Amino acid sequence: MSKRVLIVGGVAGGASAATRLRRLDEHAEIIMFERGDYISFANCGLPYYIGGTIKKRDDLLVQTVEAMKSRFNIDVRIRSEVINVDTDNKKVTVKSSSKGIYEQEYDCLILSPGAKAIRPDIPGINSEKIFTLRNIPDTDAIKEFIDKKAVDSAVVVGGGFIGVEMAENLKSKGLNVTVVEAASHVLAPFDSDMVVTIEKELVKKGVDLVLGDGVKAFTDTKNRINVILNSGKTLAADIVILSIGVIPDTEFLKDSGIKLGPRGHIIVNEKMQTNIESVYAVGDAVEVTDFVTGLKTAVPLAGPANKQGRIAADNISGLNSVYKGTQGTSIVKVFGLTAAVTGANEKALKRAEIDYKKIIIHPVSHASYYPGALPMTLKLIFGDDGKILGAQCVGYKGVDKRIDVIASAIRFNGTVYDLAELELSYAPPYSSAKDPVNMAGFVAQNVLAGKSNMITWDEVSKLNKDDYILLDVRTEEEFIRGHVNGAVNIPLDSLRERISELDKTKIIIAYCKVGIRGYIAERILEQKGFTVLNVTGGYTEVKRLK
């Protein structure tokens, strides 16, 4: 006898579960309920359709109702909202635009309700000039408003991934754009020492940034909307995009007996199974385990949702598949810049009380002698045992493949020693014989072996200036063009001859352009009895962090 599987919600998690389930079981009765009109769409592409990079609206539609029926024999019921789940009697209550309210029994249930945009209860939040972006109707509404209302200015509230992408795409349409972020920096997954480069790119491209200031209220005027900030500052615009995060759309489960986390996320085990044996849950609405820290978290990303849908279908079909956690690998385009992250950042590690070390390097995208090599900044975070905990990279070319390699290493519990040993593809147009990933591994190895003692500029600023000598080992020409106040310039190639100019009773803090010459100076001086620290990232960090 075939079993009936109901799936609540489509898009990444629900649609993946449905199609995987059909491939595994031709005889199962599969019914998918979708509250809206679209069961599977490229939600990550929505800002680029609004901005005009993606020209055709239909290109956003990954699967249609007709295709799901003809290819996979799945009964898709759109405009059908599941409003109640009765786990005792294994049935759901559905509110349908065509059938009214009815009940549907199930053998297994997969919940993929997703998340909804946060709309805080502040004055003026219900203005018709305020929009959120989560789905196709949201996209249509924003695009129509911009195209028909002669919009020339926008305020984006929230500097997360969607907020930053919307800022870029609205700017590309010719709008004056301001991003308001209540935190001290945009893009929370990045540490502050990395995100500054992204913020500079936004400002360089004409986006106004208001950081460390939240919204107090909105007020409508005849044609515009005023955004009143907590600081008292008022911004006027034609449209507001609200992008301050999402919450799980799980209110319909409150009386179901299905356990929810403190913020309303569905609690599942490694098989994506809830506390009710026949009920599974996937996607943005579930609580997951952070792969690096082991703490419970929620990460609303398409990649994990797809994998979770597949795993739920596997387990319903008798395959023993498990989800091992989410590491939050993400990437974002910011005009000409690319920024990517994987694993834990410093904030997450501090919350988890995990000790870590970090290094920053400034390699180029491919062999420096081949035309078109562009700089990047790569940060690697690792434990005392060498285990890789996280990485962040910002640059113009080759950022994605470096973070993807490190993300793979993290997934396999790799160490910095593994990064040093990786044999990666090399030809001058694509990389260097020592790839940036290898270089990060080499530097981290030196730190763990005690062959290099790293310090950041922030840590330098906290030291007593009487206790150290700041040594610039770049050339005289480089020093003249710019240097850190108080630094002594002894070029690396003259260091052995001029070593007597340095005081052995003081700590020597060496720096160069990116850290390599500083490291060589460190090795020379340490073996001659000096106590030396090398500034990770070198003088490039000074200019980048300004």
pLDDT reported for residue 131: 96
Write out the residue limits of the CATH 3.50.50.60 domain(s) in the chain.
Answer: 4-114+247-316, 130-244, 330-448
Q: Does position 429 have pLDDT exceeding 70, yes or no?
A: yes
Q: Does position 115 have pLDDT exceeding 70, yes or no?
A: yes
Find the mean pLDDT for residues 335-342: 97
214-223 contact pairs (CB < 8 A, 24+): 214/180, 214/182, 215/122, 215/157, 215/180, 215/182, 216/122, 216/123, 217/122, 217/123, 217/124, 218/122, 218/123, 218/124, 218/125, 218/127, 218/130, 219/123, 219/124, 220/124, 220/127, 220/129
Beta bridge partners of 105: 91
Query: What span, in angstroms and rounded, lies between the C-alpha atoms of 59 and 162?
Result: 19
H-helix or E-strand spanning residue 12: helix 11-24
pLDDT, tens digit (0-9, with 9 covering 90-100), for 65-81: 888 899 999 999 999 99
CA terminus-to-terminus distance, the chain? 68
pLDDT, tens digit (0-9, with 9 covering 90-100), for 163-188: 999 999 999 999 999 999 999 999 99
pLDDT reported for residue 40: 78
- Angle (CA) 249-261-391 rounded to 5° is 90
Find the mean pLDDT for residues 118-146: 94
pLDDT reported for residue 35: 92
Mean pLDDT of the chain: 95
Architecture of domain 4-114+247-316: 3-Layer(bba) Sandwich (3.50)
pLDDT reported for residue 201: 97
Helices 436-448, 399-411: crossing angle, 10 deg rounding = 50
Could you tell me the two tokens for 542? Answer: 């000074």
Q: Does position 480 have pLDDT exceeding 70, yes or no?
A: yes
Q: Does position 546 have pLDDT exceeding 80, yes or no?
A: no
Residue 286: C-alpha distances to residues 296, 411, 414 (Å): 10, 20, 27
Q: Can you name the CATH fold of 454-545?
A: Oxidized Rhodanese; domain 1 (3.40.250)
pLDDT over 70 for what percent of the chain? 100
Find the mean pLDDT for residues 269-289: 97
Cα-Cα-Cα-Cα torsion 372, 373, 376, 381, nearest 10 degrees, comes to 140
pLDDT reported for residue 516: 94
Q: Does position 222 have pLDDT exceeding 70, yes or no?
A: yes
Find the mean pLDDT for residues 509-521: 96
Cβ contacts of residue 264 below 8 Å, gap of 6+? 247, 248, 250, 251
pLDDT, tens digit (0-9, with 9 covering 90-100), for 403-419: 999 999 999 999 999 99
CA-closest candidate to residue 82, choices 178, 150, 14: 14
| Residues catalogued as catalytic | 44
Find the mean pLDDT for residues 519-536: 96
H-helix or E-strand spanning residue 242: strand 239-242
Write out the residue limits of the CATH 3.40.250.10 domain(s) in the chain.
Answer: 454-545
pLDDT reported for residue 39: 82
Q: How confident is the model at residue 1 (pLDDT cuts 50, 70, 90)?
A: low
Find the mean pLDDT for residues 472-494: 97
Say which range, 27-36, 40-49, 93-102, has the weakest mean pLDDT: 40-49
Q: Which residue has the higher pLDDT, 43 or 153?
A: 153
Cβ contacts of residue 493 below 8 Å, gap of 6+? none
Q: Is the pTM of this model over 0.85?
A: yes
Q: How confident is the model at residue 368 (pLDDT cuts 50, 70, 90)?
A: very high
Residue 376: C-alpha distances to residues 198, 371, 386, 455 (Å): 12, 16, 23, 20
Architecture of domain 330-448: 3-Layer(bba) Sandwich (3.50)
CATH hierarchy code of domain 130-244: 3.50.50.60
Could you tell me the two tokens for 456? Answer: 């950041």
pLDDT, tens digit (0-9, with 9 covering 90-100), for 452-466: 999 999 999 999 999
Find the mean pLDDT for residues 6-23: 92
Q: Does position 2 have pLDDT exceeding 90, yes or no?
A: no
